[in-house]
Amino acid sequence: NALHKDSVRALQFCKTNPNNIVSVGKRKGVFTSTIEGKKLEVRRVDDPANCMLFMDENRFCVGDDAGGITVFDLRQKDKLFKIEEHHEYVSDMCLHKDGKSLVAVSGDGTLAVYNMKQKGKLVAMSDPNEDEFLCCEIMKNCSKVFCGSVSGVLNIFSWGDFGDLNDRLPGIKESTNSIVKLSENTLLTGGEDGIIRVCGVFPNKIKGILSEHISSQTAKPETIERLSLSKDGEILASCAHDSTVKLWTLNEAYRLDRGEESRCAKRTREENFFAGMDI
């Protein structure tokens, strides 16, 4: 069943009921539905939604194209409150382990931290950067925040010092659209070139290549829009512009995380040692 009449931009499973999902999209609808597609409830945001994040079992926030962040609770239909600090689209959000500090990044090149226990009170906002921020992840036991960008560079902020970034991890030549934490010292990146990379944190370096999201029709790499790690940390999913989701095993990534030498020093398309399964 087609709940959305236009593109779906983000979805997450409900923590209280794993058979239900919340999805957001271009048409401003926030749908709660079953995994079979049965509509359960509809909420609305003021502008096209771009990303979403569950903060606990019931509360979730939706970032939109106009820079707003709307907070909802599954137990009630109306919004709890809305944050309006960014000047362009909110591209990604992540939550500190304290459960109250929400990190959001935006196409206006800023990173902001909000206190969600004080109705989204702005705690800190970085100076605008020339680069658009596309994704974010809290690393190194919550002492660092990594932000992927249109240029591909990973921009690094120290927690509590958000005025300006204090380090960078270069080496990725095209946009970094998604990053996920593998461990406190290692993250995975995906972006425009279709390559899934394993990156180390302090020392900041690209440790190796996990694989490539290659179209089965064109045999060419496809732009990765989103990476997602399974709850047990054993499987990585990538979705790309070829309209497929591929699943990857992570043995090689964990080997690199432990500092061991890669078993595949030179990666080619034909060496599909991670047999990505299409969905």
Cis previous bond, 203, omega within 30: yes
C-alpha to C-alpha distance for 235 and 193, rounded to whole angstroms: 21
Q: What mean pLDDT do residues 147-159 have? A: 97
Least confident of 36-40, 124-128, 202-206, 208-212: 36-40
Q: What is the CA radius of gyration of the chain?
A: 18
Instruction: Count Cβ neighbours within 10 Å for each residue of 154-176 and write b for 16 or more, e otherwise.
Output: bbbbebeebeebeebbeebeebb
Using the structure block, give the residue that is written with the tokens 């900041």. Answer: 204
At 260 the pLDDT is 87
SS3 257: helix
Task: Kindly state the average pLDDT of the residues 7-35.
Answer: 90
Eight-class DSSP state of 14? -
Query: What is the reported pLDDT for 5?
Result: 73
In this predicted structure, the answer to whether residue 74 has a pLDDT above a threshold of 90 is yes
pTM: 0.90
Mean pLDDT of 138-157: 97
